[in-house]
Amino acid sequence: MGKQWFPYVRAGVLERVERMVARAARDGALPAAEALVVLGAWQALLERHGGADGRCVLCRRTSRRLCGVWQVAVAYFVRPDAP
């Protein structure tokens, strides 16, 4: 995953998290304040785990492959069958 792809992956994950949290808050599954906390937590976690080129700063990975945090985020928030 290089510099050219990571910004798109990051944007897709965060956009998906935002939509899911908004839907949960709208449908009453989460109170609005809790929805904002969930969104903020994911945003902070992903921010800490991603440099501009996709290398994980926190995990100290030198590989351009996504770290475990990003792999989970992509699997849950960008997969094709996600609601």
pLDDT in the model for residue 1: 47
pLDDT, average across residues 56-71:
77
pLDDT at 81: 59
Query: Is the pTM above the cut of 0.85?
Result: no
What are 35-48's pLDDT values in tens digits? Answer: 778 878 888 888 88
DSSP character string of the chain: --TTTHHHHHHHHHHHHHHHHHHHHHTTSS-HHHHHHHHHHHHHHHHHT--TTS--TTTT--SSS--HHHHHHHHHHTSTT--
